[in-house]
Chains A and B, each alone.
Chain A
Amino acid sequence: MKYVVSFGRFWWDFVVGDDWRAAAGVVLAIGATAALAAAGVAVWWTMPLAVALVLYVTLRRASAP
Chain B
Amino acid sequence: MTAGVFLVLSAFLASAVEMVEALTIVLASGIARGWRSSLIGMAAAVLALAVIVAALGPALTVVPLNALRLVVGGLLLTFGLQWLRKAILRASGFKALHDEDAIFAQELEEARTAERLERGGVDWYGFTLSFKGVLLEGLEVAFIVITFGSTQGSIPLAAVGAAAALVLVAGVGVAVRAPLARVPENTLKFAVGVMLTTFGIFWSTEGAGGSWPGSDAALFGVLAFVIALSALLVAVLRRRKRERFVAAGARA
Contact = CB atoms under 8 A, between A and B. Distances in A.
A15 B82 CA distance: 9
Interface residues of B, number: 40
Interface in A7-45: 14-19, 22-23, 26-27, 29-30, 33-34, 37-38, 42-44
Interface of A: 14-19, 22-23, 26-27, 29-30, 33-34, 37-38, 42-44, 46-48, 51-52, 54-56, 58-59, 62-63, 65
The secondary structure that dominates the A interface is helix
B52 interface: no
Question: Which of B70, B82, B212, B241 has the most chain A CB atoms closer than 10 A to its own CB?
Answer: B82
Contacts of B244: 65
Contact of B88 (A27, A54, A59): A59
Given A16-B78, A34-B208, A47 B201 contact: yes
A28 to B, nearest CB: 11
11 contacts: A22-B81, A26-B74, A30-B204, A34-B208, A43-B210, A44-B205, A44-B211, A44-B212, A55-B88, A59-B233, A63-B241
A55 B81 contact: yes
B81 A26 contact: yes
Interface in B48-91: 70, 73-75, 77-79, 81-82, 84-86, 88-89
Contacts of B94: 62-63
A44 B210 contact: yes
B139 A22 contact: no
A19 B82 CA distance: 8
Given A51-B201, A55-B229, A37 B209 contact: yes
Nearest to B82: A17
- Main SS of chain B's interface residues? helix
A47 B205 contact: yes
B218 A44 contact: yes
Nearest to A56: B233
B213 interface: yes
B77 to A, nearest CB: 5
A48 B89 contact: no
A36 to B, nearest CB: 8
Interface string B182-223: 000000000000000100110011011111110000100010
B78 A55 contact: no
Given A26-B78, A47-B77, 9 more contacts: A22-B85, A30-B74, A33-B208, A43-B205, A43-B210, A44-B213, A55-B88, A59-B88, A63-B241
